[in-house]
Amino acid sequence: MASSTRVTFPNKFLPYLLLAPQLAITAVFFYWPASQAIQQSVLREDPFGLSTQFVGLANFKRVLNDPNYLNSLQVTVIFSIATALIAMAFALLLAVMADKVIRGKGVYRTLLIWPYAVAPAIAGMLWLFLFNPSMGTLAYLLRSTGYNWDPLLNSDQAMVLVVAAASWKQISYNFLFFVAGLQSIPKSLIEAAAIDGAGETKRFWTIIFPLLAPTTFFLLVVNTVYAFFDTFGIIHAVTGGGPGKATETLVYKVYNDGFVNLILGDSAAQSVILMVIVIAMTAVQFRYVERKVHYG
Amino acid sequence: MIQNNPIGRIIAHIILIVGILIVAFPIYYTFVASTQTLQDIIRPPLSLLPGGHFWENYSSALFGGIGKIGGVGVDRLLLNTLVMALGIAIGKIIISILSAYAIVFFRFPGRMFFFWFIFITLMLPVEVRILPTYKIMVDLGLIDTYTGLILPLMASATATLLFRQFFMTIPGELVEAARVDGAGPWRFFKDILLPLSKTNIAALFVILFIYGWTQYLWPLLMTNRNDMATIVIGLRKMIDFTDANTQWHLVMVTCILAILPPILVVVLMQRWFVRGLVETEK
């Protein structure tokens, strides 16, 4: 926090007045629902809302022993790792190339930041237009080579399609951060290595890549959070969690159990588990931010 | 010596161009499809050059009766989305700049408590508390209202933290000087703080506008009536692969209309957006 020597305005009521709007919104739309989720997660309610009883941690126990939940946890982990790796690798390649060119940097950047502005659900739809078996041109080309492409029936192909859409949308974001990261690496270091005879590939893996580690780690956390929480639209628009439950992520399951199947206690318990996951990820991110101060 | 490697540079250009083609292709393909007839779209492969039905498709989607989704025109859906995106962006900037101002430039009992009270919300996206938040919206009668679409998404600390961080870099001498010259808190805020924050506000505006425009789960839950839906939700309702009557050429037009406004905002405000994004999240 600010040091105590900070010059301030002497005023008794004004600061509370200034804080009031945000405090009100935070209390009503954050603390109230969050506390309800925690309360609901230890209660068992029948689907008609007629009776409620306290069941302790039974909801959590049931959720964590539910094969469907464990399946969706596995789906989420696979989906997140694949999305983060592909989006970051592709973005890093482009950023390294953009760092090399002298002319046209601005043009390339402009042409690469579009997908950031596309809603995840629409990103999913764009890929579905290309790859759905009934009218997608790329699906048509795949099938004409004899490959049995049908993401609406084959679970692995469905996963490939949602991962493609999710990582496509995230490339812009990663690209911008990698470009910024590359710019902060001192050119003298790279030149010294070149004079010592290190080739381009060697320079990349021994100097550039290690120095990019803070950026990479930051992006890893951000991409994982993105894949966990912001990709609901992609799943909902492209596969609806299917085929079967092959692409049912954790957030999709919370929605499905709470709003479609109306199992309130389970849905609330899942929400609380998700909160714990987010808090853990944020904590990791903050530790990293603190560490980064030392890197300068 | 590294800079003078023409072959390496040419390879870099080639890789970048291929990358851009891959990144742009899904959007380009949808644009091409939006200028074709329905018959051409449902019989792949589609030509890779735009067809001749641009005006016909776009005007019938925008003004004709055919482009309606559940009795609602595309213009209405775009308006809803615009109101939501602007509401979230402007509303969040206002409440955040005010609370950051209070936390940095005033000393008062409970200051740290309020800071943490707001700060904790940073961690929890709306996705993890959808059901209870939804119930509260029902209790408050906010389903199918702009208020219901906007307010809950403003409850997050990101913008407050950004402003706080920026305010703390403002030298104390500036505040001192303002006070010596007889400027009160309001005068200082209006004449010194706001002008200094212009770049930050612009960057945040872009990020929050995109955030609001691309929302999906929340508008899906909050709107039952078709005339309150956002363009993304409306689009989802139009798409049905099992329905032979789906007007695919109009779906493609709607898709382009849905992604054009945020893309324009990002590209035109690129300078602030890039700086804001890279700096705020660092």
pLDDT at A1: 42
Q: Above pLDDT 90, what percent of chain A?
A: 18
> Does position A164 have pLDDT exceeding 90, yes or no?
yes
Tell me if chain A has a CB within 8 Å of the CB of B130. Answer: yes
pLDDT at B61: 75
Task: Answer yes or no: is B211 within a domain.
Answer: yes
Task: Answer yes or no: is B138 within a domain.
Answer: yes
- pLDDT tens readout for residues A266-281: 788 888 888 888 888 7
Range of the structural domain that residue B171 is part of: 71-278
Task: Answer yes or no: is B178 within a domain.
Answer: yes
pLDDT at A253: 87
Pairing of strands A43-45, A52-54: antiparallel
Q: Least CB-CB distance to B132: which of A11, A36, A126?
A: A36
Distance (Å, whole) CA A210 – CA A51 = 58
- From A143's Cα to the closest Cα of chain B, the distance in A is 11
> Does position A293 have pLDDT exceeding 50, yes or no?
no
pLDDT at A78: 93
**Are the Cβ atoms of B104 and A6 closer than 8 angstroms?**
yes
pLDDT at B41: 76
Tell me which of A233 and B129 has the higher pLDDT: A233
Q: Above pLDDT 70, what percent of chain A?
A: 92
The residue type at B273: F
Task: State mean pLDDT over A145-172.
Answer: 88
Q: Least CB-CB distance to B20: which of A28, A34, A112?
A: A112
As a whole number of Å, the end-to-end CA separation of chain B is 32
- pLDDT tens readout for residues B111-147: 889 888 888 777 667 767 788 888 888 988 988 999 9
pLDDT at A289: 57
Alpha-helical (H) ranges within A9-154 are: 14-26, 32-41, 58-65, 67-100, 105-112, 120-131, 137-144
pLDDT at B250: 82
pLDDT at B92: 93
- pLDDT tens readout for residues A13-30: 888 999 999 999 988 888
Task: State mean pLDDT over A232-248.
Answer: 85
In chain B, residues 63-92 whose CB comes closer than 8 Å to chain A: none
The pTM of the full predicted model, rounded to 2 decimals, is 0.87
Site from B42, B214, B238 to mutate, A interface, most A CB atoms within 10 angstroms: B214
The residue type at B166: F
Tell me if chain B has a CB within 8 Å of the CB of A111. Answer: yes
Residues of A within 8 A of B101 (CB-CB) are 18
**Are the Cβ atoms of B136 and A19 closer than 8 angstroms?**
no
Give chain B's domain count: 1
Task: Answer yes or no: is B25 within a domain.
Answer: no
Q: Least CB-CB distance to B278: which of A121, A180, A255?
A: A180
Q: What is the CATH number of the domain that holds B154?
A: 1.10.3720.10
Task: Answer yes or no: is B163 within a domain.
Answer: yes
> Does position A160 have pLDDT exceeding 80, yes or no?
yes
- pLDDT tens readout for residues B147-187: 989 988 887 788 888 888 888 888 888 888 888 888 888 88
- From B102's Cα to the closest Cα of chain A, the distance in A is 5
> Does position A229 have pLDDT exceeding 50, yes or no?
yes
SS (H, E, C) chain B: CCCCCHHHHHHHHHHHHHHHHHHHHHHHHHHHHCCCCHHHHCCCCCCCCCCCCHHHHHHHHHCCCCCCECCECHHHHHHHHHHHHHHHHHHHHHHHHHHHHHHHHECCCCHHHHHHHHHHHHHCCHHHHHHHHHHHHHHCCCCCCHHHHHHHHHCCCHHHHHHHHHHCCCCHHHHHHHHHCCCCHHHHHHHHHHHHCHHHHHHHHHHHHHHHHCCCHHHHHHCCCHHHCCHHHHHHHHCCCCCCCCCHHHHHHHHHHHHHHHHHHHHHCHHHHHHHHHHHCC
**Are the Cβ atoms of A137 and B112 closer than 8 angstroms?**
no
> Does position A48 have pLDDT exceeding 70, yes or no?
no
Site from A18, A22, A109 to mutate, B interface, most B CB atoms within 10 angstroms: A22
Task: State mean pLDDT over A65-77.
Answer: 89
pLDDT at A76: 92
Task: Answer yes or no: is B11 within a domain.
Answer: no
pLDDT band at A2 (very low <50, low <70, confident <90, very high): very low
pLDDT at A4: 45
Residues of B within 8 A of A259 (CB-CB) are 130-131, 134, 221
In chain A, residues 7-46 whose CB comes closer than 8 Å to chain B: 7-9, 11-12, 14-16, 18-19, 21-23, 25-26, 28-30, 32-34, 36-37, 40
pLDDT band at A295 (very low <50, low <70, confident <90, very high): very low
Distance (Å, whole) CA A82 – CA A118 = 20
Task: Answer yes or no: is B52 within a domain.
Answer: no
Tell me if chain B has a CB within 8 Å of the CB of A129. Answer: yes
Distance (Å, whole) CA B271 – CA B162 = 18
**Are the Cβ atoms of A22 and B98 closer than 8 angstroms?**
yes
**Are the Cβ atoms of B131 and A104 closer than 8 angstroms?**
no
pLDDT band at A288 (very low <50, low <70, confident <90, very high): low
Residues of A within 8 A of B179 (CB-CB) are 7, 9
Residues of B within 8 A of A33 (CB-CB) are 129, 132-133, 135-136
Q: Least CB-CB distance to B44: which of A140, A172, A218?
A: A140
Residues of B within 8 A of A279 (CB-CB) are 123-124
Tell me if chain A has a CB within 8 Å of the CB of B274. Answer: yes
The residue type at A291: R
Host H or E run for residue A246: none
Q: Least CB-CB distance to B26: which of A25, A98, A127?
A: A127
Sketch out chain A's domains with CATH numbers: 60-292 (1.10.3720.10)
Residues of B within 8 A of A180 (CB-CB) are 278
Q: Least CB-CB distance to B24: which of A34, A97, A114?
A: A114
Look over chain A and give the mean of its residue pLDDT values, rounded to a whole number. Answer: 83
Residues of B within 8 A of A282 (CB-CB) are 122-123
Low-confidence ranges of chain B (pLDDT < 50): 1, 282
Residues of A within 8 A of B114 (CB-CB) are 19, 23
Tell me if chain A has a CB within 8 Å of the CB of B236. Answer: yes
**Are the Cβ atoms of B215 and A5 closer than 8 angstroms?**
no
pLDDT at A294: 37
pLDDT at A90: 94
pLDDT at A102: 79
Task: Answer yes or no: is B5 within a domain.
Answer: no
- From B70's Cα to the closest Cα of chain A, the distance in A is 18
pLDDT at B3: 54
